[in-house]
Amino acid sequence: MPLTLTRQQSTTSVVGHNAQHQALGLVGIGLYTPADAGRLLGIAPAKITRWLRGHEANGKRYEPLWQPQVDLGEEGIFLGFRDLQEVRVASTFIEKGLSPQRVRQAIEVARDVVGDARPLSTARFRSDGRTVFLQVVEEDGQTKLIDLFRKQFAFRDILERSLTNLDYDGAGIPSVWWPLGRSKSVKIDPTRSFGQPIEAETSVPVDALVLAVEAEGSPEAAARAWDVPIRSVKRALTFRREMDLRRAA
C-alpha cells in the first residue's frame, strides 16, 4: 500500500529529523548509521561497522581503523561526514587487496604526515598519500604495496576513484560531496540539513521531495506543493532510485 502523507506531514518529518540532530550537537558534522553510509557508498553496512567498531577473528582482536566523529555511547556506531569520506578511501584500498591492518598502518603514518585525525580524504593526502604508503612498507618490510604502486599512475588512479566529486575548503578538508556527480544536482553538505542529501538547486532535502511525490501522487503535484521546478523533484527521485539499487545490491 503506498504511503499517503500531506505536505505538512512530510515537512514535519524532515524538520523533526533535523531537530533531533541539533539536539545531539551534530550541526556541521552530519549523522549516518552504517546502513545510511552503506547505501550512500555502496558498501555492506556490516563491513563499515566492523572497521569502526573493531572485531575478533581466529582468537585475535582487531582494533577499529579509526574513532568515528560521532559518539552516542550505547546507541551504536554512527558516522559523521568526514567518516563517510574516510570509508570511501579505505574501501578502495581494501578492494585493491590491502588488508585493513595495512590501511590502519597507513592512517597512523598519514596522521603525522598530513596533520589531520582523518587524513585519507584530505586534499594533501591526495598528493602525498603514496609517500605515506611507502613509509608503511619501510616500517614492516613488506613489498606488496611497492608492487601495487610500482607504476606512478596506479596510485593516482586508486585515489582518484575514491576521492571523486568532492569539494574542499581552504584547508583542504572535504566540505561537499556530490554522490552521483555534480551533473545530478544532489549534494551532501554537513552544514546543510545536517548532512542529509539535498537537491542542490533548491536546497530541499531529497527525502522531503520523495515523500511529497508519494503524498501528492505525482512529481508535478509535488513540485507545485513545494513551489520548486519539476526538474528538482525528478532529480530527487533519480537519486533515491540509485540509492535503493545500491541497498539492494
Angle at the Cα of 32 (from 162 to 23), degrees rounded to 5?
A: 140
Q: What is the pLDDT along the chain (249 residues), one digit of tens a residue?
A: 333 334 444 444 444 444 454 445 667 889 999 999 999 999 999 999 999 998 888 888 888 999 999 888 767 899 999 999 999 999 998 888 888 888 898 999 999 989 999 999 999 999 888 888 888 877 777 666 666 666 666 778 888 888 899 999 999 999 999 999 999 999 999 999 989 999 999 999 999 999 999 999 999 999 999 999 999 999 999 999 998 887 766
Q: How far apart are CA 146 and CA 151, in angstroms?
A: 9
Q: How far apart are CA 181 and CA 41, in angstroms?
A: 13
Cα dihedral 238, 243, 244, 249 sign: positive
**Secondary structure letter of residue 65 according to DSSP:** S
The torsion angles phi and psi of 198, rounded to 5 degrees, stand at -125, 150
pLDDT at 150: 65
Q: How far apart are CA 56 and CA 44, in angstroms?
A: 18
For residues 94 and 102, the answer to whether their CB atoms sit within 8 Å is no
- Which amino acid, 156? R
DSSP class per residue in 111-172: HHHH--SS-TTSHHHHHHHHHHHHHHHHHH---HHHHHTSSHHHHHHHHHHHSTTEEE-TTS
User: 56: phi > 0 → left, psi -120 to 50 → alpha, else beta; which?
Assistant: beta
Bridge pairing between strands 55-57 and 198-199: unpaired
For residues 187 and 201, the answer to whether their CB atoms sit within 8 Å is no
Other Cβ atoms closer than 10 A to 183: 8
Q: How far apart are CA 42 and CA 37, in angstroms?
A: 8
